Amino acid sequence: MRDVTPLISRLNRWVNDEQGATAVEYAVMLAMILLSVLAAIGTVGAQTGGMWSGIVNSLKAVGFIP
């Protein structure tokens, strides 16, 4: 039967290693930042879409745009 001590030792190091946890924390923070940026872009896009439509309609009304 093989000695399982190296396996237990490796598993112990893996459980106590905090680099993986740090990487996960950074990934979660990045996901939150991306969601915030996408929400802001969506909000600004919806507001400016109405603004540009109003400008185009005004330009059409005065005959600047056929």
Ranges of each domain in the chain: 17-61
Residue 3: how many CB atoms within 10 A of its CB?
7
**Res 8 pLDDT > 70:** yes
Is residue 52 packed enough to be buried (19+ CB in 10 Å), middle (13-18) or exposed (0-12)? exposed
pLDDT in tens, 20-53: 678 888 999 999 999 999 999 999 988 888 888 8
pLDDT, position 62: 93
**Rounded-to-integer distance, Cα 60 and Cα 66, Å:** 6
